Chains A and B, each alone.
Chain A
């Protein structure tokens, strides 16, 4: 395979990875939105659904305009179908979030079924002097330190699904859930005030 087509393939696969990650992030966020009856999170899911639609279109256009050879076409049909499935997953997540957006009071049974011990959701801004900056999630050990679980990282327009090797940057907004008492600990970790900072 030529270098040029190798590059083109990488580009397509990268876009698919974003599509896949976003759709899975949406499921996590949608269930949390339901559990906590959080309109804010549900709206985030709705926004991400639009993003997924855009990404999916860009991805399909890119595949179509790549001019694959006949022997390569089958392998890329598989990728196209993966894209369709990721989009379907995103739609399902949006359907869960819609229950919250329509103001349906979540039935207690939903909470029991979701089985997560989340009480609260918090959005924290990562300051430049935070010890979290430039650490991977694996290194940052946020759940161990604060009892809060990072659901998503907002970075500018993007919303990233956290993975162990995701690096936290100054300016990130961490969307985290957990017990109410962990919230202050997380805020202090993400944005230490000057006198606390040594």
Chain B
């Protein structure tokens, strides 16, 4: 397994921690979905994100080490380092869940069946060029009231945008991660793939 070589980069703690928190939370959602619906591709995404968080954890540790000059600094920063290590643990747990799929253990179909009744679904879908949602902001799409769906993250040019803001414009080629009712998600999928060309009110 190839690890990314660690080099100190002067990235603000705020940014490192924010990314660790957001990614680790996204990973939980992705990992459970991968396990319950036996989705290998999602499981692989989770393992990729795990590596990313590990690298961030190294960076954050180095940055906090440099920032602490005396006992007072150390006391102020120990909370930051504990929270970062908790986010790292959460991402490890998500990776453990993804490994259930990768290692072909899987969960019993009856588990997925029961889960479908109680949990919201999650999909990953690529936005085609001809889709009507291209160029629209998340706010304009108004997905939650329209079809009971939320876009929780999008993947664009090798980068994750988590909890995208209302003014974020959807671009062709974006991969959306959305959560919601199964009918709503079906509709969103058809919209993204250009099979449905009208947003219903």
**Is B111 in contact with A78, judged by CB distance below 8 angstroms?**
yes
CB within 8 Å of A: which of B92-148? 92-94, 96-97, 99-100, 105-111, 114-115, 118-120, 148
A115 closest partner in B (C-beta): B18
CB within 8 Å of B: which of A1-30? 1, 6, 9-10, 13-14, 16-17, 20, 24, 27, 30
Complex: A70 Cα to B108 Cα, angstroms: 12
**Is B89 in contact with A95, judged by CB distance below 8 angstroms?**
yes
**Is B17 in contact with A109, judged by CB distance below 8 angstroms?**
yes
Complex: A112 Cα to B21 Cα, angstroms: 12
Say which size band chain A's interface belongs to: 35 or more
- Closest Cβ of chain A to B14, distance in Å, is 4
**Is B115 in contact with A99, judged by CB distance below 8 angstroms?**
no
Hey, which chain A residues are within 8 Å of B83, CB to CB? 34, 96, 99, 110
Hey, which chain A residues are within 8 Å of B100, CB to CB? 78, 81-82
- Closest Cβ of chain B to A64, distance in Å, is 15
Say which residue of B14, B25, B79 sits within 8 Å of A27 (CB atoms): B25
Chain B: how many interface residues by the 8 Å CB criterion? 45
Question: If the complex has contacts A13-B110, A77-B105, A107-B80, are A89 and B118 also in contact, measured as CB distance less than 8 A?
Answer: no
Which of A34, A77, A85 has the most B CB atoms < 10 Å from its CB?
Answer: A85
**Is A78 in contact with B86, judged by CB distance below 8 angstroms?**
no
Question: If the complex has contacts A20-B32, A105-B76, are A79 and B96 also in contact, measured as CB distance less than 8 A?
Answer: no
Say which residue of A17, A85, A113 sits within 8 Å of B119 (CB atoms): A17
Complex: A104 Cα to B79 Cα, angstroms: 6
Is the CB of B13 closer than 8 A to any CB of chain A? yes
Interface string of A71-89 (1 = CB under 8 A from B): 0101111110110111011
Residues on A lying within 8 angstroms of B by beta carbon are 1, 6, 9-10, 13-14, 16-17, 20, 24, 27, 30-31, 34, 72, 74-79, 81-82, 84-86, 88-89, 91-93, 95-96, 98-99, 104-107, 109-110, 112-115, 138, 163-164
Hey, which chain A residues are within 8 Å of B79, CB to CB? 34, 99, 104-107, 110
Q: Which 6 A/B pairs are nearest by Cβ-Cβ distance?
A: A75-B108, A78-B107, A113-B17, A92-B89, A88-B93, A92-B86
Complex: A114 Cα to B86 Cα, angstroms: 14
- Closest Cβ of chain A to B100, distance in Å, is 5
A-B contact pairs, 23 of them (CB 8 A): A14-B114, A17-B115, A17-B118, A20-B32, A27-B25, A75-B111, A78-B100, A81-B96, A81-B97, A81-B105, A82-B35, A82-B97, A95-B85, A95-B89, A96-B83, A99-B79, A99-B82, A99-B83, A105-B76, A109-B12, A109-B17, A115-B18, A164-B120
